[in-house]
Amino acid sequence: MYRIGELAKACNINHDTLRFYEKNALLTPSSRSESGYRLYTEKDKDILEFILRAKNVGFTLSEIKELLSIEVDKANNACADVKTLVDTKLQTVENKLAELIRFQASLKRLSDACCGGEESAEHCTILEALESDTNAVRHEHHHD
């Protein structure tokens, strides 16, 4: 069991952020001590880590709330609904992945061009690095 300060420190965030997440129904501590102190379990910590990772890749708190709300309820027949939500989010993730892979390629090309090869003059900005990427994929396409 973590008290609020311990969990905050462990995850490197402000303790007020934890209260804020509680107020916004993202993460409620599993229990309270006699005297009213919030007590977080290891599972609560997993949820928090999930929230922080999701935030880091550009999900909003309300999107994260949606992700956390996903529950395949076998008894209830809401399975199809859940699958729709999951597949929508999966699509979002895959779009983000595609973007990031493009950024990665551009930055790599830039890093290599810099102080590296003979072709230092070729790719001088991230936009040019991106363009050369685009050109590689599409047809040649000059404009100055």
Partner DNA sequence: ATACACCTTTGACTTAACTCCAAGGTCAAT
Partner DNA sequence: ATTGACCTTGGAGTTAAGTCAAAGGTGTAT
Among 10, 30, 31, 37, binds DNA (CB under 7 A): 37
**Residues 100-129 within binding reach of DNA (CB under 7 A):** none
Chain residues in the site for its own copies (CB under 8 A): 42-43, 46-47, 50, 53-58, 67-68, 70-74, 79-80, 82-83, 86-87, 89-90, 93-97, 99-104, 107-108, 110-111, 113-115, 120-121, 123-127, 130-131, 143
Long-range interactions of 2-7: CB distance < 8 A, separation 24+ = 2/39, 2/40, 2/41, 2/44, 2/45, 3/37, 3/38, 3/39, 3/40, 4/29, 4/37, 4/38, 4/40, 7/40, 7/44, 7/45, 7/48
Positions touching DNA (CB under 7 A) are 3-6, 13-17, 19-21, 32-38, 55, 60-62
